[in-house]
Amino acid sequence: MLVQTSSIIASALVSSAIGYAIGLPVSKYFDSNIRMRLLLSPVIGLGIFGAAGVSIFHFLPLTAFNLILVVLTFSAVALWLSKGTIDPLLRSPASPGFSWLAVAFLLCLFPTFEIIPQYYGGSAGVGHPIWDHAKIAIVNEIAQNGLPPANPFHSETGSSNTLIYYYVWHFMAACSSVITGASGWEADIALTGMTALFSTFVVAWLAVARSRCAHAAWWVLPLLLVGSLKPVVRFVSGKWLDNWMVHEHGLQTWIIQAPWVPQHVFSGTLALIAIMAYMRILYCNAGRDLVLAVFMGAMLASAYGSSMWAGGFSLLLTLPIVGALSVSHVARAKRLLQVFISLSVTAVMTVLCAGVLIYEQSSILHNRKVVDFWVFPIFLGHHWFLDVPGFWLVLILLEFGIIYLSFIIWSLARPLEDIKRYAHIDRAFFVSVLAPLLCTQLLHSVIMYNDLGWRVLIPSILVMTALTAALFSTQIGKSTLIGRLTTMTAIILLTPSILSGAKSVYSNTFRFRVEGPETEEGTAFKASPDMWKAVREVTPPNEAVANNPLDLASVTHIPGNISWAILSQRRHCGTTVGFLRAYAAQLTPEQASDVYNFFVDAFEATATEDQLRVMKDKYLCKTLVVTSRDGLWGKPVLDNNSVYKLISEKKGKWRIYR
């Protein structure tokens, strides 16, 4: 078996235990309803633990004993700082029941199933999202060698070989791996599923708390399944859409993002909790602000440390605007000094928890440009004056149809009493939706892909989903104008939107199981754990291996060596060019291509003894793994060189040299 179900379950339980142990006491600041607090607690707890834990374990060995000790300490401090009566931000009169929790759990199995191995005959396969889970190599690196993590995707003499990436989410997966003994892949599967579930919990909390209706939680579940309307329009109209729209990578709904990029989903979810903490500091003169400021600082650090985009840029835009909108209220309440002190504490705590990450990631600025300005291209011809309104009137409507249109209806449908009661929170919701969308329109990242544009809007998606659920729970079926508009929107758009999302789920979860095909590389992938076990027996965890960057390339939709990334539990000295450009940020794009081409050429049978020496001495490849699929297989240079010697093999399958 490529993964063990028992290890996945154990890892999920460990992540949940950490979240609840730390987060449950702190949730008192957000809601008075204990059942609603149970929805919030795991994200709060993991958010407090994440970046703070990273900072601590830069100085402590990452062992099970130390992890348990740190978690218990955090839990005790959270209990102590949250003892007594606390006036919460919200007092929800309703909450979802156990049956809703059961259905929500089943829903969140979909993102989990998309990254577990699939079998067809004698072959094994994986869904498309596994490509973005090549970062399982980071989980294994942290679990085995601690912090700071070395770069598992590249090594080179004379370089620091430090990983430049936002890895707090992967650190938390590594923690469950250390405690349970699960592999990095198993821990990643578990935390992906729990992240989807916890994100669902937070969206349901916002929907129920804002609508004051428990039924809103039920609407959250189908709304999280919706996909883009583009496939629906193409099905109906053929190529009509492509005749006038730019073929730019589309934006993605929750059901796409949850399996592909759980670290960004966690960050975006935590960003919403941090915004709610910010609202309590700004608007609730209820005391204990300094304590909440400490917790908020830790959560901000984890949001940034899990995603530079969803928890970095989105909050960098949202928090100042929300703060500026609160100035008049804070001034009238004569709390300017009090709020300033609280926010200063938040800033100090954020820097203390995220300082190490900021220092590590800032080194990329010396070699690479990270972000650039643009106007998101919408129409053929690239006329910016058409693209600007087209982004809001065409693209967002197509990508986020039902939740975007319902958000507009909700903004016009709020009862007067709700406007008075929730005016400050609604302003934060508006900013949380609009600011990230504006960022997507005007900025894009240029490291590898436009991750900024795709991920920064996750908080927007979550808020629009929550408000749509709130709208549906209170307006569907009413005979008012708003009620009719809401009902028509649900009738017309909900089913095709869910079908679009279901198509993605089927493609990544069930297609290979149903349709196959059974291939030679799929069979080799299924058998590859034996090879990697032999590699681990002769290669210490702090050494790198050389393996063909394109081995088993047909297993994934993007050609690359996913077998190494998710199964080897060892570093690689020169991986696929996409991994090098994304995760070896100290290399320029040209240098990344040179490294990649060197290894591809070597494994295609052009390697000489001098190239093998470069591989070992320059790129620090202590172990060489050659399979029968490589052009290098059986070449005389492997048997007659002074660099590598054969130490293990499976006849006709693979050989290991050191």
Give the model's confidence band at 157: pLDDT under 50 very low, under 70 low, under 90 confident, else very high.
Answer: very high
In a domain, 513, yes or no: no
Q: What is the pLDDT of residues 202-244, one digit of tens each?
A: 999 999 999 999 999 999 999 999 999 999 999 888 888 888 8
In a domain, 120, yes or no: no
pLDDT of 416 strictly over 90: no
In a domain, 543, yes or no: yes
Same domain, 440 and 553: no
Please report how many Cα atoms fall inside a 13 Å half-sphere around the Cα of residue 538, on the Cβ side: 18
Provide mean pLDDT across the span 405-429: 88
Count helices and strands (H / E) in the chain: 29, 9
Q: β-strand 544-547 against 371-373: which pairing, if any?
A: unpaired
Amino acid occupying residue 583: Y
In a domain, 348, yes or no: yes
Same domain, 551 and 480: no
The whole-number pLDDT of residue 382 equals 81
Q: What is the pLDDT of residues 26-54, one digit of tens each?
A: 999 999 999 999 999 999 999 999 999 99
Select from 459, 480, 508 the last residue of a domain.
508
Q: β-strand 621-627 against 571-572: which pairing, if any?
A: unpaired
pLDDT: which is higher, 408 or 242: 408
Domain total in the chain? 2
In a domain, 246, yes or no: no
According to DSSP, the residues that pair with 445 across neighbouring strands are: 371
Same domain, 393 and 416: yes
Burial of 456 (0-12, 13-18, 19+ CB in 10 A): buried
Alpha-carbon span 102 to 108, nearest angstrom: 10
Same domain, 540 and 628: yes
Same domain, 261 and 302: yes
Same domain, 430 and 552: no
In a domain, 503, yes or no: yes
- Could you tell me the residue range of the domain that residue 327 belongs to? 5-115+127-241+252-508
pLDDT: which is higher, 362 or 438: 438
Same domain, 563 and 496: no
Q: What is the pLDDT of residues 281-337, one digit of tens each?
A: 999 887 788 999 999 999 999 999 999 999 999 999 999 999 999 999 999 999 999
Alpha-carbon span 400 to 259, nearest angstrom: 18
Provide mean pLDDT across the span 21-26: 97
Select from 457, 484, 508 the last residue of a domain.
508
Same domain, 268 and 333: yes
In a domain, 103, yes or no: yes
Provide mean pLDDT across the span 79-85: 90
Q: What is the pLDDT of residues 52-66, one digit of tens each?
A: 999 999 999 999 999
Q: Output the pTM of the full model.
A: 0.96
In a domain, 622, yes or no: yes
Select from 459, 475, 508 the last residue of a domain.
508
Same domain, 178 and 313: yes
DSSP percent split of the chain into helix, strand, coil, nearest 5: 65, 5, 25
Q: What is the pLDDT of residues 487-513, one digit of tens each?
A: 999 999 999 999 999 999 999 999 998
Same domain, 481 and 612: no
pLDDT of 365 strictly over 80: no
According to DSSP, the residues that pair with 574 across neighbouring strands are: 154
Cβ-proximal residues to 6 (8 Å cutoff; 6+ apart), any chain: none
Least confident window among 265-269, 339-343, 381-385, 551-555: 381-385
Same domain, 497 and 623: no
The whole-number pLDDT of residue 449 equals 83
Same domain, 497 and 538: no
pLDDT of 145 strictly over 90: yes
Give the model's confidence band at 420: pLDDT under 50 very low, under 70 low, under 90 confident, else very high.
Answer: confident
